[in-house]
Amino acid sequence: MTIKVLAICGSLRARSTNRGLLRFAQANAPTGMKIHIADLLDVPFYNADLAEKPAAVSTLLQEFAEADALLLACPEYNYSLAPALKNALDWASREPDNHLLRGKPVAILGSAGGMGSSRSQYHLRQVCVYLDLHPLNKPEVFANAFSGAFDHEGNLLDQKIQDNIRQLLQALSLWQKQLTLPHG
């Protein structure tokens, strides 16, 4: 069985280091895992007054529905998570009974200055609690975007961070299997 992972990048920049983390994860997914990176460029801010969902939102919601797990790349904007990532989760959470998110395993990683998105990742974990998502506790992946770990295109070069991402994906695979085992 293949685990389908929906990867969402909180940064909309093409050369984003967070997008680079997801590209690396996608190219290095373990056997039995397929990672699809969502496109948030045309997803408008959540607005309950919209009579119809925009096409980009319908596509994103279908991607959430097809995913067995989530991989969230969390940049840090002003010590918190980026609006694009929160907005994607807001759209999904408004579906009936939170069925697109409820109980799904989540792996979080991120790149930013200073402490490598640690503060924003902890805020994202708080959001996950409310949405009934199940984030992995470890390994934590924090990458400093300005340390030489990435090239000018946002591609990940640092071997230690690459190894951490491989470990994160293995842990996500095990976590997803554990959460879907019958209980009793």
User: Tens of pLDDT along 45-99?
Assistant: 999 999 999 999 999 999 999 999 999 999 999 999 999 999 999 999 999 999 9
The pLDDT value given to residue 183: 56
What tokens appear for 123 in the block? 């805020």
DSSP string covering 19-66: HHHHHHHHHTPPTTEEEEE---TT-PPP-TT-SS--HHHHHHHHHHHH
pLDDT greater than 90 at residue 36: yes
Q: φ and ψ at 35, to 5 degrees?
A: -110, 125
Phi-psi region of 95 (alpha: psi -120 to 50; beta: other; left: phi over 0): beta
Q: Rg for the chain (alpha carbons), in Å?
A: 16
What is the b/e burial string over 100-111, where b = at least 16 CB atoms within 10 angstroms of the residue's CB?
A: bbeebbbbbbbb
CA-wise closest residue to 106 among 171, 37, 167, 23: 171
pLDDT tens digit sequence for 139-180: 999 999 999 999 999 999 999 999 999 999 999 999 988 888
What tokens appear for 47 in the block? 């607005």
Run of H or E including 112: strand 105-112
pLDDT greater than 80 at residue 184: no
